[in-house]
């Protein structure tokens, strides 16, 4: 299994969703993330990190609220935002930040 650092250092952008099972806004974002993945296909990886089970990673990236989304490309943070995000705005932002 790849480590988190190996996953985010690649050429393909990685959207990390920091969430918790008990978080209602996180659940709201799940269908939006599925649509984004369908739209972006192999041009974007999406990984979900449960902050309750991975406190060290959440702490490293100073995740204070959930959901928090961080977009990485070549091991660099390209964008981050917390909270519920409109699907169209979310997709446009990702496309803008990875190009």
* Residues noted as catalytic: 23, 26
2 by DSSP, 3-state: which? coil
80, 16 Cβ separation under 8 angstroms: no
23, 67 Cβ separation under 8 angstroms: yes
Q: Which residues, 6+ apart, have CB-to-CB distance to 54 below 8 Å? A: none
18, 58 Cβ separation under 8 angstroms: yes
């Amino acid at each position: 299994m790849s480590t988190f650092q190996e996953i985010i250092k690649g050429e393909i952008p990685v959207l990390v969703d920091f969430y918790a099972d008990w978080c209602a806004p996180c659940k709201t974002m799940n269908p939006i993330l599925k649509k984004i993945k369908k739209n972006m296909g192999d041009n974007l990886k999406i990984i979900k990190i449960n902050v309750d089970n991975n406190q060290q990673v959440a702490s490293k990236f100073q995740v204070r609220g959930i959901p928090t989304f961080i977009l990485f490309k070549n091991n660099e943070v390209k964008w981050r935002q917390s909270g519920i995000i409109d699907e169209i705005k979310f997709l446009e932002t990702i496309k803008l930040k990875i190009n």
